């Protein structure tokens, strides 16, 4: 496995200027790119947040002056492409960007106004409907783990532990299946209907919130549930292309944190899930590397057909993010450093 090769491949294929403007860079959402993707018309705000987060992973693994400059340009470009704003109408999207920007701050880059704008909007999303929690998007009737999980992590890292705990407790009481320990997707506040879909990233963000709040028993239960239900053969289950291309990698990110934070056997279990998934992902990659949308099977061979999920930036960032998570657990994953 070579996480540096993953970084070089993803950045070379996907990073491009925004509208040809000097000093700008974002990820094209597809490769080979369509006309709309070359123009960053389909720019996928929350995919960009995860690309930024993974660039921060790489910077922490192997600091580089050139990558730090890239991250600065990337942050500026998000606001430019979002027409001068840091936020949008989706609370989950802005929570993801907020988490990435909090980590950018630790690199010495001033993003205080952006983090403050995100914090204000996330706080505004809390209501008493369905017992608490924030909405999935402005004006909606749906509250879910994909919004409340990353927002709880964001608030915890901001020092607002009371709101983080309220959100995590709401997820525990409302969305955790008592039979399996898995986290359901969400609840429709107008009808009270529980949407009991099981997505890997719901498990990841809930796990992350529990870790931030030192809720050890809840975090350990989630690791066991993931191992039993979401990782056949020890490899985290894929959920296709599009948005689903990031789901398993989000879970891997927080499993890697659990492997370093939890006491007892769940730490070893979390570590195995990440490393075994990374080995499968790397061994199944096509030349490039080009990662498969399903880590337990090989990627499609090049040239990629137009409907191949491997064309999606989400899938490729997901593979790279997984390897960055694995690199925090094993030195065998890191390749030679990317040039400074």
| C-alpha to C-alpha distance for 259 and 123, rounded to whole angstroms | 30
- Work out the pLDDT band at 340, boundaries 50, 70, 90: very low
Residue with tokens 């952006």: 114
**Residue closest to 292 by CA, chosen among 237, 233, 340:** 237
| C-alpha to C-alpha distance for 115 and 289, rounded to whole angstroms | 34
Q: What is the DSSP letter of 100?
A: H
Angle subtended at Cα 207 by Cα 136 and Cα 75, rounded to the nearest 5 degrees: 60
Question: How many Cα atoms sit within 13 Å of 97 on the Cβ side?
Answer: 32
Domain assignment of residue 87, yes or no: yes
Give one DSSP letter per residue of 218-240, joined into a string.
HHHHHHHHHHHHT-GGGSPPP--
Say whether pLDDT at 249 is over 50.
yes
Average pLDDT over residues 86-109: 98
Q: Is there a contact between 187 and 176 (Cβ–Cβ < 8 Å)?
A: no
140 contact partners, CB below 8 Å, separation of at least 6:
none
**Residue closest to 143 by CA, chosen among 180, 203, 194, 99:** 194
Q: What separation in angstroms does the CA of 242 have from each of 17, 72, 229, 302, 318?
A: 22, 26, 22, 19, 11
Of the candidate ranges 31-45, 52-66, 148-162, 289-303, the one whose mean pLDDT is the lowest: 31-45
Domain assignment of residue 337, yes or no: no
Q: Is there a contact between 311 and 32 (Cβ–Cβ < 8 Å)?
A: yes
The reported pLDDT for the residue numbered 332 is 80
Question: How many Cα atoms sit within 13 Å of 179 on the Cβ side?
Answer: 3
Whole-structure pTM over 0.85, yes or no?
yes
| C-alpha to C-alpha distance for 338 and 7, rounded to whole angstroms | 8
- Work out the pLDDT band at 337, boundaries 50, 70, 90: low
| C-alpha to C-alpha distance for 115 and 155, rounded to whole angstroms | 11
Residues 115-167: pLDDT tens digits? Answer: 999 999 999 999 999 999 999 999 999 999 999 999 999 999 999 999 999 99
Q: What is the DSSP letter of 176?
A: B
The reported pLDDT for the residue numbered 338 is 54
For the chain, give percent helix, strand, coil, nearest 5. Answer: 60, 10, 35
Across the chain, mean pLDDT equals: 96
Domain assignment of residue 283, yes or no: yes
Average pLDDT over residues 229-233: 98
The reported pLDDT for the residue numbered 41 is 83
Average pLDDT over residues 32-40: 90
Say whether pLDDT at 22 is over 80.
yes
Say whether pLDDT at 212 is over 60.
yes
Domain assignment of residue 334, yes or no: no
Q: Tally the domains of the chain.
A: 1
Q: What is the DSSP letter of 68?
A: H
Angle subtended at Cα 26 by Cα 25 and Cα 32, rounded to the nearest 5 degrees: 115
What percent of the chain is predicted at pLDDT more than 70? 98
User: By residue range, what is the domain housing residue 46?
Assistant: 3-329
Domain assignment of residue 335, yes or no: no
Q: Is there a contact between 92 and 147 (Cβ–Cβ < 8 Å)?
A: yes
Q: What separation in angstroms does the CA of 210 have from each of 5, 89, 204?
A: 32, 26, 10
Q: Is there a contact between 29 and 43 (Cβ–Cβ < 8 Å)?
A: yes
Residues 176-209: pLDDT tens digits? Answer: 999 999 999 999 999 999 999 999 999 999 999 9
The reported pLDDT for the residue numbered 335 is 62
Say whether pLDDT at 25 is over 90.
yes
Say whether pLDDT at 339 is over 50.
no
The CATH number linked to 46 is: 1.50.10.20
Token code pair at residue 206: 């809930």
Domain assignment of residue 169, yes or no: yes
Residue with tokens 């993003």: 111
Strands (DSSP E) along the chain, which ranges? Answer: 15-16, 26-27, 142-144, 184-188, 194-198
Residues 54-89: pLDDT tens digits? Answer: 999 999 999 999 999 999 999 999 999 999 999 999
């Amino acid at each position: 496995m070579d996480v540096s090769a993953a970084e070089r491949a993803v950045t070379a294929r996907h990073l491009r200027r925004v509208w040809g403007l000097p000093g700008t860079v974002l990820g094209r959402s597809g490769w080979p790119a369509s006309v709309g993707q070359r123009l960053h018309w389909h720019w996928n705000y929350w995919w960009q947040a995860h690309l930024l987060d993974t660039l921060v992973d790489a910077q922490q693994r192997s600091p580089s002056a050139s990558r730090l400059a890239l991250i600065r340009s990337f942050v500026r470009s998000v606001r430019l492409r979002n027409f001068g704003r840091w936020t949008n109408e989706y609370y989950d999207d802005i929570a993801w960007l907020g988490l990435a920007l909090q980590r950018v701050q630790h690199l010495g880059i001033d993003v205080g106004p952006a983090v403050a704008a995100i914090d204000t909007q996330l706080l505004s999303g809390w209501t008493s409907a369905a017992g608490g929690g924030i909405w999935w998007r402005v004006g909606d009737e749906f509250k879910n783990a994909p919004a409340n999980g990353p927002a709880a992590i964001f608030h915890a890292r901001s020092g607002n532990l009371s709101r983080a705990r309220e959100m995590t407790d709401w997820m525990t009481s409302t969305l955790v299946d008592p039979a399996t320990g898995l986290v359901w997707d969400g609840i429709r506040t107008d009808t009270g209907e529980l949407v009991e879909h099981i997505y890997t990233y719901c498990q990841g963000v809930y796990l992350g919130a529990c870790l931030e709040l030192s809720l050890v028993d809840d975090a350990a239960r989630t690791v066991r549930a993931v191992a039993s239900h979401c990782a056949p053969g020890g490899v985290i289950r894929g959920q296709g292309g599009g948005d689903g291309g990031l789901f398993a990698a989000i879970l891997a990110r927080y499993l890697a944190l659990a492997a370093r934070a939890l006491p007892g056997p769940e730490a070893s279990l979390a570590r195995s899930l990440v490393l075994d998934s990374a080995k499968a992902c790397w061994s199944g990659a096509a030349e490039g590397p080009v990662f498969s949308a399903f880590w337990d099977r090989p990627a499609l061979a090049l040239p990629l057909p137009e409907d191949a999920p491997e064309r999606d930036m989400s899938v490729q960032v997901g593979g790279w993010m997984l390897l960055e998570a694995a690199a925090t657990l094993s030195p065998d994953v890191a390749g030679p450093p990317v040039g400074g």
